[in-house]
Amino acid sequence: MRHFLNPGSMPPRKQKDQRFIFELDTSCFKEQHFQFVVKMFRACCRLRYYLRLRCTTCNIIILLVLLSGSQVWIWCRRQQVNPETTDIDEFPMDHVKHGRERMAEHIAGLSAYSYQMRPVNCGQVFKGDKEEIKRSSKIGTNSKYYRKYFLQEFKSCKVIRESSKYIFNVSEEEKQFPIAFSILLYKDFFQVERLLRAIYRPSNIYCLHIDAKSSKSLHDNIRRLAACFDNVFIASKLEDVIYSGFSRLQADLNCMSDLLKTNISWKYFINLPGQTYPLRTNLELVKILKIYNGSNDIEGITGARMLTGRFKYVYKIADVKGKKTLENTYKKKLPPPHNISIVKGSAYGVFSRNFVKFVISDQRVQDFVKWLEDINSPDEYIWATLHHTKLNQHLNTPGGYKGDPDKKPWLATYAIWKGLAPCSGIWVRSICVFGVGDIPHLIQKKQLFVNKFYFNLQPVALNCMEEWFGGTPCYFEQLSSAKDMKLDDNSR
C-alpha cells in the first residue's frame, strides 16, 4: 500500500498485535463530510482493523490505529501529499474471517476504486491544459495492489450491484430497442469490468468471450462477474485466440450464434475488444441505431490499402519459441467461392440483427468463412466483404452498402493508426494506445467507441474518459452501510 507520510512519523508496523490496514481515498468527499468518515472509521475499528485515510481533496491525512481492544489512537495532520513516495506493502486479505469479511470487502472496494495517486483536474485536461496534461501523464497506478483488492471485492454480487454504478433504470425507448454486445478479452479483468459497467443496461444482452489460454484467475473472475447479471453470459465455446488468426474471427462468430439463441429480440449487434471505451450513452446509441434503420456500419477499404498479400497466400499456424503465431507459406491461395470480391475493413462494427442471421445461416457465407480459415487477419475482411454490395451485389446482404466503400463514413470505432495522426500514449502493433494528451480530441469525436486504452498506461486517461462519459462514481456513497449513516453537512 502506498504511503503519503514520512515513514519516521508512522507507528511501528510489525507489532505482534497488528491487524489489517486499509487505505481509503476520499477524493469524492467534501470537508463537511468529515463526520461521516469518522463513523466509517469507528465501524471498522469495532472489527479490529487498522485504517489510513488519504484525503486528496483537502490534503488531510488521518491515521486511525486500533492498538488493542477498544483503544483507538488518532493521528491527524495537515500537510501536502507527496505522490512520489513509493513504499509498498502487501496485506493478507486471505486471512479475513467470519463476520469481518463483509466489511473487509467494502473497505477493500473503497481502496480499489481509488484509481488516482493524487488529485487530477479532468476539466482542465478536457480543455487541453498542457501543464495539467503533462502532470497527469506522469501519474501511475500500483497495478499489483489494484488487482489484489479489486478482485477481492468482486466476490460479492451484492457489492457490485449496490456500489459499482451499474445502471438498472432505463427509458422506455431503450427497453423497446435492446442491443447485443460481445466483448473479446484476454487480460485486465478490472478494465473489462469498467467497460461493461459503462455499457450495461438490463434491456441489453452481453456475450463475453475469454481467450481460452488466459489465466485461470481471469476466467474465474469474469465468470463470477457474469453470474451477477441475468443478461450477461460467457460464450458457449472459447477459442485459443491467435493474433491475426482465424480463431479471432471464430470468437465473434461464437458470440453471434449464442446471441441469436437468446430470448431477447435485440435489434443490433456491436462487437468490442476489452480495451475500448464508449463515446455515446446507451440512449444515444439507441437513437443513432434507429436512424440506421437496419443498415450496418462497417468500414470499407479497396485499392492499395487492402494488403492483398494477406489473402493471396496460404497462412498456417507455427510454433515460434513456444508461442503460436501465423506464418506465410507463400503458397498461392485459390480465389474466394461464389465469385466474391474481397474488401478490407475493421474487425469491429455495428451489425443489424438480419445481417447477423445472414452470417450464421447463409450457405454462401459459410463457404466464404471456410475459405477465410487460412488467410491473415480474416476478421478484417469478412464483414467489409459481405457488407459492401457494390462489389458483391449477388449476395443481397441485409443492411449492405451499395456505394463506394472508400467514400462512406464509418462511425463504429475511432482508432489512430501509426503515421496518420499523433499519439500521446504508445504505439502497439501500429495502433495508438491513448494517453492523457489524446483526451481533448477524443471527446470531440463523432464515433460510438474509441479503441484503445491500457489501464496501467497513463491511467488518468481512462479515468478522465469515465468522468466525461458519466461521472466517476463516489464509491462511499453507494455502499449500503454508508446509506445508513446520516451526513451532517454543517459539520466542519
**Residue 417 carries which DSSP code?**
B
Q: What percent of the chain has pLDDT over 70?
A: 68
Say if CB 112 and CB 150 are below 8 A apart. yes
Q: What pLDDT is stored for residue 101 in this prediction?
A: 38
Per-residue pLDDT at 187 exceeds 70: yes
Q: Supply the pTM of this predicted model.
A: 0.73
Tell me the mean pLDDT in the region 16-41: 48
Cell 481509488 identifies what position? 114
Q: Which residues of 435-444 are buried (b: 16+ CB within 10 A; e: fewer)?
A: bbbbbbebee
**Residue 11 carries which DSSP code?**
P
What residue type is 490 in one-letter code? N
More confident call, 153 vs 188: 188
Quote the mean pLDDT of the chain.
Answer: 77
pLDDT band at 115 (very low <50, low <70, confident <90, very high): very low
Q: What pLDDT is stored for residue 350 in this prediction?
A: 98
322 dihedral zone (left: phi>0; alpha: psi -120 to 50; beta)? left
Q: What pLDDT is stored for residue 469 in this prediction?
A: 86
**Residue 399 carries which DSSP code?**
T
Q: What pLDDT is stored for residue 136 in this prediction?
A: 86
Per-residue pLDDT at 165 exceeds 60: yes
DSSP 463-488: HHHHHHHH----HHHHSHHHHTSPP-
Residue 319: count of CB within 10 angstroms of its CB: 9
Residue 211, CB-side half-sphere exposure with 13 Å CA sphere: 16
CA distances from 102 to 93, 97, 249 (A): 12, 9, 41
Say if CB 22 and CB 111 are below 8 A apart. yes
Q: What pLDDT is stored for residue 322 in this prediction?
A: 85
Q: Which cell goes with 360?
A: 450464421
What residue spans of 227-272 are helical by DSSP H? 246-260
Per-residue pLDDT at 467 exceeds 70: yes
**Would you call 344 helix, strand, or coil by DSSP?**
strand
Per-residue pLDDT at 416 exceeds 60: yes
Q: Which cell goes with 452?
A: 484503445
More confident call, 6 vs 435: 435
Q: Which cell goes with 175?
A: 427497453
Q: What pLDDT is stored for residue 321 in this prediction?
A: 85
Tell me the mean pLDDT in the region 206-220: 96
Q: What pLDDT is stored for residue 141 in this prediction?
A: 60
CA distances from 154 to 149, 165, 188, 197, 467 (A): 9, 14, 14, 13, 22
Per-residue pLDDT at 482 exceeds 50: no
Per-residue pLDDT at 159 exceeds 90: no
Q: What pLDDT is stored for residue 356 in this prediction?
A: 99
Q: Which cell goes with 466?
A: 469515465
Say if CB 286 and CB 173 are below 8 A apart. yes
CA distances from 279 to 17, 307, 414, 446, 469 (A): 50, 30, 9, 8, 7
First to last CA, the chain: 29
Residues with a catalytic annotation lie at 380
Tell me the mean pLDDT in the region 112-140: 75
Cα distance between residue 268 and residue 179, in whole Å: 5
Q: What is the pLDDT of residues 67-99, one digit of tens each?
A: 223 333 333 333 333 333 322 232 233 332 333
